[in-house]
Amino acid sequence: MASIVRKQSKTGIRYDIQLSPKEHPDRPKIALGKITKDDAQDVKKHIQWLIRHNIGAKLPLSTQEWLSGIPESLQVRLEKLGLAESRMKKKTHTVKQWCEAYIKMREKDKKTKSDTIRKLENVSRRLSLFFKNTPLGSVNKLEAKNFKAFLAGAVGLSENTARKHIAISRQFFNAAIENRLVDQNPFRGQPVRIRANNARFFYITPEMAQKVLDACPDAEWRLIFGLARFGGLRCPSEVLRLKWQDIDFGNEQFTVHATKTEHHADGGIRTVPLFPELTPLLQDVFDQAKAGTAYCITRYRDKSVNLRTQMNKIIKRAGLTIWPKTFQNLRSTRETELFKLTEGNIKAVCSWIGNSPAVAMQHYAQITEQDMKQAAKLAVLKDAEKRVHNRVHTTGETPEIKRRESQEKKQGDDVTLLHASIYEQKKKGANLYETHPMGDGGFEPTTR
């Protein structure tokens, strides 16, 4: 356990760090010079972490940052004691060399998924393109921010995709810190959280989906598209993992193995209804499959095949405009559709699609054009009801339809009174005739 030794000198009080309690106080290992007691305590804390790091403990970021800013004399002393790596040694790796070495380490551990390796390689290519032969240890925060600008400008990535690249870049440098190649991570502090972007939502209608199916070159491509659009599967990961043993035609359901969520409590396994749109697509591929075939999709499993690029070509062949986030919007469309078909059964739909309600609401559920039209109709009706209600209960004015009814009733009463008057007059005439019978001369005056 390191401790602080206080010494009185001609120039004042000085502090040293004693690494071992058995060490003689007059022979301290690390002389700190003329500093305050609080600063000495801070140095002692970081040196204790360096000692722990030597026996396998992870070095805190605060200590990494402290180590990168210490004077050269203290750095040399720590190097001699084996508590810090040589700064010259840290600059032997270029950014490109380290990224390639890190990817090879991940491939050797046999635990890293192929999709993760693909993403690491993609970011590694762009880091190497931007930093070229820059030594790993000389990359600073400004250069890291310039890399983000490069991704958005020269490469043309969206904000969310650029953030994913920064997150993976941070991962490369964190691994370099653990391997004691650098002291700090220049990408630390840059935002990496993915934000919802409604501008990139796109709803693929059933009519559009049919056009794409008609443009697909074979049965397997129709199934790839159908599993994403009507089954809500992630593509390529979940689509390519689907096996014939996962399909239960009898019970009209199938099992999905999600690579992305297999670390969850359910192991990333979910059961999905065999929706009527999927049955003929699966049956078609099944009928063409050779005996003993394990996977539903066999022709497009090679790493060199970019399903998104091929899918975009098919969309263009169908006479449609390529929409953003090609496969994710197919999942998004299906989840939005299922919310309506189940009348808002969020628990069931999220179980089938394989995401949480929070993620579904923020990144998947869409507001369609039909929703807007229905809402507009409801708004018009409610507005009309409100106006009628206000006129009756607020201003006291009777609505037009009520006034017309009242007028008709009044006119009806007037007609009734008129009829009664005529009847009375006729009755009086009849009585008069009975009282004074008409003679032979009649009512007309006599003529001469």
CATH number at residue 251: 1.10.443.10
398 CB neighbour count, 10 Å cutoff: 13
404 phi, psi to nearest 5 deg: -65, -40
Beta pairing class for 269-273 and 247-248: unpaired
pLDDT in tens, 16-55: 777 766 666 555 578 777 788 888 888 888 888 888 888 8
Q: Are 259 and 357 members of one domain?
A: yes
pLDDT of the residue at 371: 76
Distance (Å, whole) CA 88 – CA 292 = 58
Q: Are 313 and 417 members of one domain?
A: no
pLDDT of the residue at 30: 81
CB 276 within 8 A of CB 231: no
| C-alpha distances in Å from residue 231, one per residue of 3, 122, 272, 286, 347 | 64, 28, 8, 17, 16
pLDDT in tens, 58-82: 888 788 778 877 887 888 888 888 8
pTM equals: 0.58
Record the tokens describing residue 352, joined without a space.
Answer: 């089938």
pLDDT of the residue at 141: 95
Q: Are 230 and 312 members of one domain?
A: yes
Domain total of the chain? 4
Q: Which residues of the chain are modeled with pLDDT < 50?
A: 91, 399, 401-406, 408-410, 414-423, 425-436, 438, 441-448
pLDDT of the residue at 448: 43
Determine, yes or no, domain membership for 294: yes
Q: Which residues of 143-166 are buried (b: 16+ CB within 10 A; e: fewer)?
A: ebeebbebbeeeeebeebebbbbb
Distance (Å, whole) CA 68 – CA 66 = 5
Distance (Å, whole) CA 34 – CA 385 = 83
> SS3 helix, strand, coil % of the chain, rounded to 5?
55, 5, 35
Q: Are 284 and 142 members of one domain?
A: no
Report H helices in 132-181.
141-153, 159-178
| C-alpha distances in Å from residue 135, one per residue of 6, 131, 187, 353, 418 | 40, 9, 15, 44, 110
Torsion over CA: 293, 298, 301, 307 (sign):
negative
Q: Is 291 helix (H, G, I), strand (E, B) or coil?
A: coil
Determine, yes or no, domain membership for 383: no
Q: Are 70 and 147 members of one domain?
A: no
Q: Are 224 and 171 members of one domain?
A: no
pLDDT of the residue at 9: 76
Determine, yes or no, domain membership for 176: yes
Record the tokens describing residue 64, joined without a space.
Answer: 């990494």
257 phi, psi to nearest 5 deg: -105, 110
Q: Is 199 helix (H, G, I), strand (E, B) or coil?
A: helix
In CATH, what number is assigned to the domain containing residue 171? 1.10.150.130
| C-alpha distances in Å from residue 407, one per residue of 242, 397, 401, 411 | 74, 15, 10, 6
> Domain residues for 128?
95-195
Determine, yes or no, domain membership for 207: yes
